[in-house]
A and B are shown apart, each in its own frame.
Chain A
Amino acid sequence: AQTVTQSQPEMSVQEAETVTLSCTYDTSESDYYLFWYKQPPSRQMILVIRQEAYKQQNATENRFSVNFQKAAKSFSLKISDSQLGDAAMYFCAYMKTSYDKVIFGPGTSLSVIP
């Protein structure tokens, strides 16, 4: 069964600095999708970034980028120029292609220090 692990329950970063959140996953599939979701204090889940496993190029969305290492089954999220609004719980997620369920990791709580 596929699993998603986030080994950092809590992280903190100084405002304007860069932080990297770690995620590893376990799968025997060669084609799949990976996601990072953000859950701010309002608890609204927001899709931050998405990566297709068959694409070697790392996805980027403004200040958010990923480091996708397929062989290592690693999918880290880098947040550059951290802002106070980035403070949230971040969830790494996996989805097997053509299979509709998304599996979420346990989450990393990110604090941004002014």
Chain B
Amino acid sequence: SQTIHQWPATLVQPVGSPLSLECTVEGTSNPNLYWYRQAAGRGLQLLFYSVGIGQISSEVPQNLSASRPQDRQFILSSKKLLLSDSGFYLCAWSPNPNYGYTFGSGTRLTVV
């Protein structure tokens, strides 16, 4: 079966520290992968998406970057976190874009 894993579930990091969030998908190949951020009490903002290894599209210029080193692995990174990077980060994949997304369980990031 196809599953998506996202970790860690919760993260508290000081301002200026690096960040690495990982997302992996099992049971499929060449999935479209997405990173979304959800600020407290707000909707979802698309950050990055990838249609293949090494192919990253950025939606919002910011302090974050993404990489796809393997077919089923999608990583969200930052060299130096800002307070404004706090939020709930969701990874998603689509077996077929027309069928919508399947989301991971999310990472709650608090930058202090």
Contact present for A97 and B98 (CB under 8 Å): yes
Q: Answer whether residue B94 sits at the interface, using C-beta atoms and an 8 A cutoff.
A: yes
Residues facing A in B12-50 (CB within 8 A) are 32, 34, 38, 42-44, 46, 49
Complex interface: chain A residues within 8 A of B44 (CB): 91, 104
Residues facing B in A59-114 (CB within 8 A) are 91, 93, 95, 97-107
Contacts A100-B32, A102-B100, A104-B43; A43 near B88 (Cβ below 8 A): yes
Interface size grouping (class) on chain A: 20 to 34
Contact present for B51 and A100 (CB under 8 Å): yes
Contact present for A93 and B100 (CB under 8 Å): yes
Contact present for B43 and A35 (CB under 8 Å): no
Chain A: minimal CB distance from B70 (Å): 20
Residue of A nearest to B50 (CB): A100
Chain A: minimal CB distance from B95 (Å): 12
Interface size grouping (class) on chain B: 20 to 34
Chain A: minimal CB distance from B108 (Å): 8
Chain A: minimal CB distance from B29 (Å): 17
Complex interface: chain A residues within 8 A of B42 (CB): 106-107
Complex Cα spacing A91 to B44, Å: 9
Contact present for B88 and A33 (CB under 8 Å): no
Complex Cα spacing A54 to B54, Å: 34
Complex interface: chain A residues within 8 A of B59 (CB): 101
Q: Answer whether residue A11 sits at the interface, using C-beta atoms and an 8 A cutoff.
A: no
Contact present for A47 and B102 (CB under 8 Å): yes
Chain B: minimal CB distance from A60 (Å): 16
> Which residues in A have some Cβ–Cβ distance to B below 8 Å?
33, 35, 37, 42-47, 50, 52, 91, 93, 95, 97-107
Q: Return 23 A-B CB contacts under 8 Å, by A number.
A: A33-B100, A35-B100, A37-B100, A42-B105, A43-B38, A43-B106, A44-B106, A45-B101, A46-B103, A47-B100, A47-B101, A50-B99, A52-B98, A93-B100, A95-B97, A95-B100, A97-B98, A100-B51, A101-B34, A101-B59, A102-B46, A102-B100, A106-B43
